[in-house]
């Protein structure tokens, strides 16, 4: 059995892995995991990833979780252009810097924006207080400013003149906020121009294919009550 990727494109790290594999012509078998049906909580999926999260990778008898680890595994196993994860020590360190920063900063705040504006009210029937929503959007704005000031600066891409894993991870995170209807690029022309460059570097067809589901998030029907009972303990912390 060849490379298998367990993904749901509703998930931003899954989108990053999917785009990277497709863009670099990495052969893989897509194993869809529907998060809103609770498929990631099944005993069968736990055999691939005991933490019951996506994305997950299976390469023969080898399994791997965590999107950054998966992306790095793919860069090392397959011959991909150097710009994705440069051999140059300092250029690579810049990519690593973003990948280390994003988990509890941009990614966290984009996830919270989506859940507070869309997922809880539309899918799960839970209403987030206006005070919490206001705080969430303020924290997102801080992360966007840090992204511009500390990483993008006056460069074409986050780690220099070429697209890298840092840009791919960042843009998939931002699309969570875009899907939630947040004005991510309002009053941020530099960030908007960066977004356009990333979309063009990835390829507009692939970019739109990967993000189609998140851009239709508000159209999703409510989650089945039995699935909601399973999901809520795993996402309850996002309500606060």
Q: What is the pTM of this model?
A: 0.96
The answer on 101 and 76 residing in a single domain is no
Residue 118 and residue 175 in one domain: yes
Cα–Cα distance measured from residue 232 to residue 239, given in angstroms and rounded to the nearest whole number: 10
23 shares its domain with 99: no
**Which band of pLDDT confidence, cut at 50, 70 and 90, is reported for residue 138?**
very high
One domain for residues 122 and 209: yes
pLDDT computed for residue 1 by the predictor:
67
- The proportion of the chain whose per-residue pLDDT surpasses 70, expressed as a percent, equals 99
The reply to whether 111 and 197 lie within a common domain is yes
Task: Tell me the average pLDDT of the chain.
Answer: 95
The predicted-structure confidence for 36-49, as pLDDT tens digits, reads as follows: 999 999 999 999 99
Q: Are residues 67 and 147 in the same domain?
A: no
Choosing from 41, 64, 83, the residue where a domain stops is: 83
Q: What is the mean pLDDT of residues 194-200?
A: 98
Over residues 12-65, the pLDDT tens digits come to 999 999 999 999 999 999 999 999 999 999 999 999 999 999 999 999 999 999
Q: Do both 224 and 148 map to the same domain?
A: yes
Residues 50 and 104 in one domain: no
Q: Residue 227 sits in which domain range? A: 85-239
Claim to verify: residue 162 and residue 225 sit in the same structural domain: yes
Beta-carbon contacts of 5 under 8 Å, excluding residues fewer than 6 positions away, are: 17, 18, 21, 28, 29, 30, 31, 55, 56, 57, 70
If one counts the domains in the chain, the total is: 2
Tell me whether strands 56-59 and 3-7 are parallel, antiparallel or unpaired.
Answer: antiparallel
Q: Indicate if the pLDDT at residue 119 is higher than 70.
A: yes
Which has the closest alpha carbon to 128: 212, 231, 238?
238
- Tell me: do 53 and 120 sit in the same domain: no
| Partners of 30 in the β-ladder | 5
Q: Does the structure show a pLDDT above 90 at 225?
A: no
């Amino acid at each position: 059995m060849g490379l298998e990727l367990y993904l749901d494109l509703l998930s931003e790290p899954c989108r990053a892995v999917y785009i990277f594999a497709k863009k670099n012509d990495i052969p893989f078998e897509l194993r869809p995991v529907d998060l809103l049906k609770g498929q990631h909580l099944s005993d069968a999926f736990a055999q691939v990833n005991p933490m019951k999260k996506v994305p997950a990778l299976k390469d023969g008898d080898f399994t791997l979780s965590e999107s950054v680890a998966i992306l790095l595994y793919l860069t090392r196993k397959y011959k991909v252009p150097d710009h994705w994860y440069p051999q140059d020590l300092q250029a690579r360190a810049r990519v690593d810097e973003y990948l280390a920063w994003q988990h509890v900063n941009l990614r966290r705040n984009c996830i919270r924006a989506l859940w507070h504006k869309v997922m809880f009210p539309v899918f799960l029937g839970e209403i987030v207080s206006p005070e919490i929503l206001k705080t969430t959007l303020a924290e997102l704005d801080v992360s966007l400013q840090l992204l511009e000031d500390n990483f993008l600066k006056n460069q074409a891409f986050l780690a220099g003149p070429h697209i890298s894993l840092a840009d791919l991870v960042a843009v998939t995170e931002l699309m969570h906020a875009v899907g939630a209807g947040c004005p991510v690029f309002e009053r941020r022309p530099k960030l908007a121009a960066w977004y356009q460059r990333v979309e063009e570097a990835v390829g507009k067809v692939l970019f739109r294919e990967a993000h189609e589901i998140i851009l239709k998030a508000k159209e999703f029907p409510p989650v089945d009550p039995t699935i909601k009972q399973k999901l809520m303990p795993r996402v309850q912390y996002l309500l606060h």
